[in-house]
């Protein structure tokens, strides 16, 4: 059975720049969107919000869904990546909560696309999707009869 890793990522935009996180992979600093794996008992939207907070210290709800990216990494690991976006009026001050994140940077889309230290090619591709104004309503994603919704245990969900 095919079992891809399910991940989420978030484009955060403000004042013409995008937020990226710097993390070390094999000792080398790499750039990524706030991103990570889907955890048990959370929806993909909840995962995106959690990862955004953990990696940047920003607590905010996603505004848009940009799409799903299916990718096979060079080590043959398959991924399904749900991509979200958040547009802020001003650049937020960041304070990563995750010790794996060294710092956050506000960079132009071009700086990100042409960076030589991207975590994966999905980082640049995500920026390109955002540049194409690929913004869809969050209602495209739903958690059908989700048992972990607030109040579900009392039959109120």
pLDDT single digits (tens) 80-92:
999 999 999 999 9
DSSP assignment string, 11-70 = EEEETTEEEEEEEEETTEEEEE-SEEEPPTT--HHHHHHHHHHHHH-------EEEEEEE
Would you kindly state where each structural domain of the chain is located, as residue ranges? 5-154
Query: pLDDT at position 2, please?
Result: 87
Query: pLDDT at position 155, please?
Result: 43
Q: State the maximum Cα–Cα separation within the chain, in Å, rounded to a whole number.
A: 51
Q: What is the pTM of this model?
A: 0.90
Is 5-154 a domain of CATH 3.90.79.10?
Answer: yes
Query: pLDDT at position 106, please?
Result: 98
* Residues of the chain under the 50 pLDDT cut: 151-157
């Amino acid at each position: 059975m095919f079992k891809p890793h399910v991940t989420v990522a978030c484009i955060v935009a403000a004042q013409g720049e995008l937020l990226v996180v710097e993390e070390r992979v094999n000792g080398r600093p790499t750039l990524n969107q706030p991103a990570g794996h889907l955890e048990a008992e959370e929806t993909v939207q909840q995962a995106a919000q959690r990862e955004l907070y953990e990696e940047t210290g920003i607590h905010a709800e996603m505004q848009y869904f940009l799409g799903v990216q299916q990718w096979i990494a060079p080590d043959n690991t398959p991924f399904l990546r749900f991509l979200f976006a958040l547009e802020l009026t001003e650049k937020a001050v960041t304070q990563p909560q995750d010790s794996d994140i060294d710092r956050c940077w506000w960079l132009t889309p071009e700086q990100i696309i042409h960076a030589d230290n991207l975590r994966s090619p999905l980082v640049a591709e995500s920026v390109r999707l955002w540049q194409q104004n690929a913004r869809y309503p969050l209602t495209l994603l739903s958690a059908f009869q989700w048992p972990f919704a607030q109040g579900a245990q009392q039959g109120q969900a």
